[in-house]
Amino acid sequence: MDNKPSVMNIALVGGKSYCKEILEKTSLDQKEGEITEGIVAVADPDPQSPGMLLAGQLGLITVNDYHELYDPRYDIHLIIVLIPEQNILEDILKTRPPNIRILSYKVFELFWKAIGLEERKLRERTKEMETILNGIQDFILVITPDRTIVEVNDAFLTKMGYSREQVIGRKCHDVYQKTYDQCNEEDPVCPLREVVRTKSQWRQVRTGVGSDGDPRYFEINVYPIWEKDSKISKFIHISRDVTERRKEEEEITRRLEHMVEERTRELKETHDKLLHQDKMASLGKLSASVVHEINNPIAGILNLTLLIKRILEEGPTRQKEIDQFNQYLDLMELETRRTGRIVSNLLAFSRQSKMEPKRLNLNRLIEQTLFLNSNLLKINGVKVEKSLEPDLPYLVGSGDQLQQVLMNIISNAVEAMETNGGGVLSIETKHLSTEGKILASFRDTGKGIPDENLSRLFEPFFTTKKKGKGVGLGLSVAYGIIQEHGGSIHAKSEVEQGSTFIIELPLKQPSGSYD
């Protein structure tokens, strides 16, 4: 047995309008190489009838007498009678060979009208779908597996400036090449190829060029339509112009970045204000203790001045008085310079200056801070023991801000020992050469810090001092300054045994500090 498919050859009797309709529809539905049954012949006594003329154009067999259809050469299997006359049907039934089947006019008409009704419904449904598709502003294309465009909606044609004839039947990459530079047959990320590879919907945003030549952004979604044998029959290609949305997103991003910049600037200003406020608070405490330190030399200068004036009023001056005057003047100069140094240091400390990193010596900075606090230490009975490593390397930082840290730690240590009637403040500096750091520790013999407060020491506005003694910013500001210098600060303490604050600072500042 051969494996050739069974073919049913059909002949039509009657060449009027029904015949023409059948031929038109069947000729459109048939695909070359896939015909398993079809109309091969038409019989009508009128060679000019519409059906006969179309059959001739289609290359079908045409005969004037339907009896000729019985010829075995034509291998007719079915005759469809398209003529309503009953006598013709009866004649065919009597004369046909037994292997030829008959479909009567009435049966054909019944089926044809039913088919026509379904066709009209399908056409209306198709029209509705076309209306819906054309009402959608997204670009919609229907593409076959060989990348041929078989359907397109009006939005695509209007926005892209194409006519339907310029799109239908063409390859999708040929149409889209004007829009996407990378869209070609060898495109490694072709949406259709990706759908086949992943066996699922595919989405991508591509950059293209609009009809005006300006850059545009398109969001592409490709959906596969599957056949029963798990093959893709068509692709639904939906794309939309998201340029305006992208522009809005970029504008929102720009505004957010601007807001962040503004907020960062405001936070920096607030930080600078807090630094200055804390410095002023420290200065206020310092000034109270320095008043006595300044009053003593000023009182001495005043007394010496009055003494010189009195001696001058008593009469001519002798060499003995002149020698005394020179001694008095030396004392006055010494006290004046000492007062000037105190005032200069206070002014330098109180000045709200910008962060200007420079090379500085931590030992010298500690000595200057102790000098400023000398009277505070004296009146509170605090003795200072120093173990400052000689030849300590220079570090890079802001002397003004680091002195503020030292001022906070020293004044806090003095206050911690105040209730004990004094104590010892031990200050030590070391060069940690293997780590490239400098360590400074400040250990007091005060009342210590409870464990529940130790972890909160560096929180803003946390304080255990009495009202009016502090607002809880000093150590928080100190922590921020040390962090900005790339260093670290921590404390350890035992109740009634005292506290130790340890600062570690790198010799070189990390990139980005002080920006």
Q: What is the pLDDT along the chain (515 residues), one digit of tens a residue?
A: 344 445 789 999 998 988 998 898 877 554 443 443 589 999 999 999 999 999 999 999 999 999 999 999 999 999 999 999 999 999 999 999 999 999 999 998 888 888 888 888 877 776 776 676 666 667 888 888 888 888 888 877 877 778 888 888 888 877 776 555 556 555 656 778 778 777 788 787 777 666 666 777 778 888 888 887 778 888 888 877 778 877 888 888 888 888 888 888 887 777 667 666 665 666 565 565 556 556 666 766 777 787 778 778 777 777 877 887 787 787 777 767 767 666 665 555 555 455 568 889 999 999 988 887 787 788 888 999 999 999 999 999 888 788 888 988 998 888 888 878 889 999 999 999 899 999 999 999 988 888 888 877 877 666 766 654 554 567 877 888 888 889 999 999 888 889 999 999 998 765 555 44
Tokens of 146: 């060989």
Checking DSSP bridges between strand 101-103 and strand 78-81, what pairing results, if any?
Answer: parallel
Tokens of 465: 């001092």
- Report yes or no: 408 and 481 within 8 Å, Cβ to Cβ: no
Q: Is 143 helix (H, G, I), strand (E, B) or coil?
A: strand
pTM for the full predicted model = 0.41
Segments of 73-190 assigned E as strands: 78-81, 101-103, 139-143, 149-152
Residue 124 to residue 130: CA distance in whole angstroms: 10
> For the CA atoms of 146, 235, 176, 163, what is the dihedral angle to 10 degrees?
100
What b/e readout covers 239-248, taking b as 16+ CB neighbours within 10 angstroms?
A: bbbebeebee
> For the CA atoms of 162, 165, 166, 167, what is the dihedral angle to 10 degrees?
90
Q: Which residues contact 273 (CB under 8 A, 6 or more apart)?
A: none
CA quadruple 301, 306, 307, 313: dihedral positive or negative? positive
Q: Is 440 helix (H, G, I), strand (E, B) or coil?
A: strand
Tokens of 2: 């051969």
Residue in 303, 304, 312 with CA at minimum distance from that of residue 329: 304
Supply the Cα-derived Rg of the chain in whole angstroms: 52
- Report yes or no: 78 and 101 within 8 Å, Cβ to Cβ: yes
Half-sphere exposure of 461 (CA within 13 A, CB side): 0
